[in-house]
A and B are shown apart, each in its own frame.
Chain A
Amino acid sequence: MSIFRISSREKTLVRIAPITEKPRVDRHMRVALLRARRNAAFAEELKDQQEFDRAISELVKAVPVSQEIAEWFRNEKLIPQEKRSWKKAIRNPVILSIVTSLAVIAGIAVFILFERMHDFPGSDTARKLLTIASATRATQLESVQTEAGALGDLFFMKYRLEHYDVPAEFADLRTDGARVFDDDEGHRVAQISVPENRMQLFLFPADRDPKKAQVREFSGWKFVEQEGWSGAVQIRDGVCFMAALRGEQRDLAPYLAKAQE
């Protein structure tokens, strides 16, 4: 169906189209007039109608009016302008689209701001490692069955990774696998698999300030979330530790509470 097909309702409106161009023409009327002008058969009829109406309107304006009435209308506004209510304005599709788009932009801005508020040095790497955690298979890891706290020595002796120590909160957990790999920026990352809650532990170099070559420190535990996984991150001696599991931040809370006790 053509978008310029004119309905019977629009034909009704076109037959009472404004005689002269007016600024406050109703949207339905504007659409009806547009369609009528695009319709070859109706356009001719509309042209004749408007010429006829204009001629009559000019004649009406020439009807003599008494001096007294003419004087009164010269000093008074014929029809007071109607104030556009906000309810009517909000229903205008243009304003509605602008308001909706502004709301979406504001929503995105708030979301980004909220994310940034929770950011910390190394949070981007932590998120990437959560993605790796979700994709890691048991066969990718070297089988190591010991306490997580004992693996610091293994990483130092075998891979010469200093300070790759598991914090006390997670040191007692039994492991079933571990590996060391290079991430996409060439940093050495240690990954430990823990059967309890199918948890994974990561140790990776902390972010450094490129100008001063100093480690960007932060204090306490910080949290990241990615693809249904949550991670608790801590920094010590220039190395970040992250405990990750599938779930929410609150699932990590019992482990972190141990240290406080």
Chain B
Amino acid sequence: MTGDSAKAQEAFQSTLRDAALRTANREALRDRLWFFSQARWRCLAASEEGLQPEHSTLDECEVRPHAAAQVRQLQPEELAVWISGAPDPQRSALAAYYLDEFSLSEMLALLALNPKELSKLICAGRRQFQAWLNATTPEYDEP
């Protein structure tokens, strides 16, 4: 979400502190996704500090049958940087979707999106990532 582990850790710790404070004040956390929604907003706030990436239109390309093999050539950090560079809400949508921990209704609640909007963001993300993969792993030979 931030592209910077220090910022991410700070967002995480401040969310934990807030949760602990609320628990100490006997304020029940009624929303079961409260922790994730708070962490998301803190990450977005943190990423808005400092240098901002230029807004540009990314190339898009349909997902290819060998895309999974291309992905396996990447390092996790490369993917993390790519996702953190995406504009929000696409960044949050990609992060929540590929974390593979939430159900669809949880994701929609967390991101305040409807299914059509989420689908559009994820599809665009896939195509942009495929285009980026084609550019970064051009030497991949199709079987």
Which positions in A face B, CB cutoff 8 Å? 9, 12-13, 15-16, 18-20, 22, 24-26, 29, 48-49, 51-57, 59-64, 66, 68-69, 72, 78-80, 82
- Which residue in chain A gives the minimum CB-CB distance to B106? A79
Taking CB atoms, residues of chain B closer than 8 Å to A78 are 101
Contact A62/B76 with A16-B118, A48-B63, A52-B126 known, Cβ cut-off 8 Å:
yes
**What chain A residues lie within 8 Å of B105 (beta carbons)?**
26
Number of interface residues of B (CB under 8 A): 40
B98 cross-chain contacts in A, Cβ below 8 A: 19, 53, 56-57, 60
Report the minimum CB–CB distance from A91 to chain B (whole Å).
14
B106 adjacent to A56 (CB under 8 Å): no
Measured in the bound complex, the distance between the Cα atoms of B7 and A69 in whole Å is 13
Most chain A beta-carbon contacts within 10 A, residue among B9, B71, B123? B71
Q: B142 in the interface, Cβ–Cβ < 8 Å?
A: no
| B residues near A61, Cβ cutoff 8 Å | 100
Q: Are B115 and A13 neighbours in the complex by a CB distance under 8 Å?
A: yes
Shortest beta-carbon distance, B16 to chain A, in Å? 7
Knowing A49-B63, A54-B68, say if A15 contacts B119 (CB, 8 Å): yes
Interface contact A20-B100, CB-CB below 8 Å: yes
Q: Which residues of B contact A82 (CB under 8 A)?
A: 32
Name which residue of chain B comes closest to A22, CB basis: B103
Residue from B68, B77, B79, B118 in contact with A51 in the complex, judged by beta carbons closer than 8 Å: B68
Cα distance A63–B77 in the bound complex, in angstroms: 6
Which of chain A's residues has its CB closest to B67's CB? A52
Given known pairs A25-B103, A63-B79, A79-B102, the reply for A52 and B123 (CB within 8 Å) is: no
